[in-house]
Chain A
């Protein structure tokens, strides 16, 4: 019989750390069954986000830029670390729970793993700003090391406090609800960072970062960096002490965290509340489901896509960014790229959304669709309908509102209707170019890059197809509407042809199965 576990074992910490790192960072499938490449998934977006932030704040002074960096990093990185989903917790419990490891050893291993994860998140995010400062001759080796240490301490403090609050909320509302709320907050935070970067492009002037100059230094996130800055004054030492105390408290909280009771109290059983797209698809199915085999399938596709975390996150990130860009362009006095930008971005959401609908974390369950008596043409129609309901309606409304503001009611009608026709054409083009069974391809993070490389040229083509709408507005009102109607119908006919081609290709693919 082996000896009982020691209270603390450094050797076990190393073994556990390797296991945690392998589980978190190796390519594979997550608890939702989605194929993941975690390192790429962490490093690339964080580096892009960091670059975007540095670009937006490029004219700021070093203290202002660093404080902005600390504020953004504090929010984004803290929210990026979520309580594990119940399935992941159960898997870890099944694999590691029975091992003879003391509680202190397990807690320290988790803490060291968290530090490693934070470093992976923070370094690519901070690197562009630090490079900019170094290029301006405002960051030497010591300052860079100090900034990275400060960022790590800040993130650790943020996560310790955030996870304590998150688990308290999870006890009340369930882990899934907290994860969902945190992902929405993270999307908003990321959009905020993107908007800081885009501000100079969209409204031809930087956001008032200088206006926040008085507020920034006193924010808790700045306590972790003020000690490095020349303008911090006498209170810097006090703030640094406060920051260290907060970080120590956070570490104590992290080491003492016992989330088992939350996960063991029962898994979230309630069915999800239907979103707007799902309710709309349900209404269409109720109305036309008896006659159109595509309607029940479209409802299924919208329903599954709305509830799959990866697909939902992709769609939400695009739509939230779109709304953010739209709001800025609407509020700005002078907006050099407004309507075309919002329209093309909206069409990118449509093409990306249509591409995404072939994927699912439960792709193995697509047998339920394969054995259903639905013609290939109806499958294609279902995909197009689902893409429109899920991804096109909100952008169409935003485009119409923007056009209405700039060009009046006729402009709103012409652009709104033309956008929808182009969206239909685009969704048809997607199913023609990549004919896939709905929800039958295993969802993977790389699916997002497919949306990018194929979605971008498609969105640009869609933007070009939207071009004639400008010409229609040169005509008197009724003629403009008639021209838009004729053009929309032509696009719809073209879309039907593309859909028929897509269905033929899908049938051919089925024959090869």
Chain B
């Protein structure tokens, strides 16, 4: 069996006295689109930030393509595309300048960066906006710039935190096609959201987290059946309620 693309083993993270992640263990297979579900404050963003190398775990381990995020964060980051929940960008830059940094800092040549920028901009319909200041662009357009930055270096693993926020209906449809295409090409996608219906349609498997603990893992159907609900949404609500009880 192939080595997991992403592997969490007893992952724990404390913020002072508060435990945000409590021994999360799961494995995501290569080429899998994996949904990470849970209500606000469940620990989703903390998990993703640990994977992206912007936060250290308090305990346990997280590995991306077999590399531990604490032992060799630079190697992990080199193979990762990331979209943060905030979608914040340097507002005074243009998308082209932002993408030039993203590509060059990952070792792409100027020519390759420029070519990939044009291709992705066309795909996300950003080509008319590449040389405008990000401050002057809409939230959805900034989010498209983040998507382009995440995909620019063709990473084998994507870690996405609420990546559809601000996108219009057409862009969401395009992203869905893109994710399916990437998965077919062997790219692993770790997709965090609280939009259950979208995750249900996009993801091969899902995990439900609540109050820092993993409550269920499996295909959307397995999770629904396992919790005694008819739908994945019902399952998430039941699991959350059970955790509170």
Contact = CB atoms under 8 A, between A and B. Distances in A.
Contacts of B86: 364, 367
Interface string A256-274: 0000000000011111100
Contact of A296 (B53, B82, B104): B104
Contacts of A286: 110
A267 B52 CA distance: 35
B89 A513 contact: no
A368 B110 contact: no
B178 interface: no
A296 B99 CA distance: 11
B73 to A, nearest CB: 8
B115 interface: no
Contacts of B30: none
Given A290-B109, A299-B101, A373-B75, A271 B131 contact: yes
Contacts of B136: 267-269
B132 A271 contact: yes
A294 to B, nearest CB: 9
A290 B101 CA distance: 12
A285 interface: yes
**Interface range on chain B: under 10, 10 to 19, 20 to 34, or 35 or more?**
35 or more
Interface stretch (B32-40, B90-98, B168-176, B194-202): B90-98
Given A267-B136, A371-B80, A365 B106 contact: no
Nearest to B153: A373
Interface string A227-240: 00000000000000
Contacts of A269: 132-133, 136
Interface residues of A, number: 40
Contacts of B44: none
Contacts of A360: 90
Contacts of B78: 373
B5 interface: no
Contacts of A361: 91
A511 B73 CA distance: 11
Nearest to A293: B105
Interface stretch (A60-68, A115-123, A140-148, A302-310): A302-310
B53 A370 contact: yes
Given A296-B104, A303-B93, A371 B88 contact: no
A289 interface: yes
A370 B86 CA distance: 14
Given A290-B109, A368-B149, A373-B75, A513 B54 contact: yes
A375 B76 CA distance: 12
Contacts of A268: 133, 136
A11 interface: no
A342 B18 CA distance: 53
User: Of B52, B101, B102, B136, which is in contact with the most chain A CB atoms at under 10 Å from its CB?
Assistant: B101
Contact of A304 (B54, B74, B93): B93
Nearest to A370: B54
Given A286-B110, A296-B104, A371 B92 contact: no
A297 interface: yes
A293 B107 CA distance: 8
Nearest to A382: B105
Contacts of B82: 367, 371
B89 A362 contact: yes
Interface string A21-34: 00000000000010
B225 interface: no
A453 B120 CA distance: 47
A39 to B, nearest CB: 27
Given A270-B132, A371-B52, A511-B56, 19 more contacts: A267-B136, A268-B133, A268-B136, A270-B133, A271-B94, A271-B131, A286-B110, A296-B105, A362-B90, A364-B88, A367-B54, A368-B101, A370-B53, A371-B53, A371-B77, A372-B77, A372-B106, A510-B56, A513-B56
10 contacts: A303-B93, A307-B92, A308-B92, A367-B52, A367-B86, A368-B101, A370-B53, A373-B106, A513-B55, A513-B56
Query: Top 8 closest A-B pairs, CB basis?
Result: A307-B92, A364-B88, A296-B104, A373-B78, A373-B77, A365-B88, A370-B54, A296-B105
Interface of B: 52-56, 74-75, 77-78, 80, 82, 84, 86, 88-94, 97-98, 100-102, 104-107, 109-110, 131-133, 135-136, 149
Interface of A: 33, 87, 267-272, 285-286, 289-290, 293, 295-297, 299-300, 303-304, 307-308, 360-362, 364-365, 367-368, 370-375, 439, 510-513
